[in-house]
Amino acid sequence: MRFAICLLPLCLAACGGSDNVADNVVGPPISVTSETPGDWSALAGMIGRRPSESGLIENSPISVDLAARLGPDSAAYRDAMMRAGPLVRDGALMVSRGPDAWLVIQPAEHAFRAGLLRNGRWQDWQTPGASVPRPAA
């Protein structure tokens, strides 16, 4: 009986309200991507729009995976892509190019390849295990 009386306050505290849980929730680190790819069909609505106006880099189905792959370089990449041209279709690919950055998306494979010009040299990243081509020169 004493155990039940001691346990009662703990149970009541745990059931105190749904807002208590939300304050303590921590999402996965940005370096972790899901095994199940998201719905990339929304990318089609970004065709013809620049990344700076469409949210392609900041708020799209590829944003988390892109930031995770680029890691500490993601801020510089995002800034460079704000000067990129519109996302266009190139066969099965979607491509956006800028003076200092580019992005090639292969939606059917849930894969991408991103490039950033740094110190006169191109550095690029791509979805692990993917074979996404660089954009045509």
Phi and psi at residue 96, in whole multiples of 5°? -135, 135
pLDDT tens digits, 83-128? 999 999 999 999 999 999 999 999 999 999 999 999 999 999 999 9
Q: Is residue 21 part of a domain?
A: no
pLDDT tens digits, 38-92? 688 889 999 999 999 999 999 999 999 999 999 999 999 999 999 999 999 999 9
Q: How high is the pLDDT of residue 19?
A: 40
Q: Is residue 28 part of a domain?
A: no
Global model pTM greater than 0.85: no
Counting the structural domains of the chain, the total is 1
Q: Is residue 33 part of a domain?
A: no
Antiparallel, parallel or unpaired: β 111-118 and 101-106 = antiparallel
In whole angstroms, give the CA distance from residue 41 to residue 87: 14
The domain in which residue 43 lies consists of 39-127
pLDDT at 25 over 60: no
Q: Is residue 61 part of a domain?
A: yes
Percent of the chain with pLDDT over 70: 72
Angstrom CA distances, 136 to 6, 8, 41, 74, 120, stand at 70, 67, 24, 23, 18
Q: Is residue 97 part of a domain?
A: yes
Q: Is residue 86 part of a domain?
A: yes
DSSP 40: G
Q: Is residue 26 part of a domain?
A: no
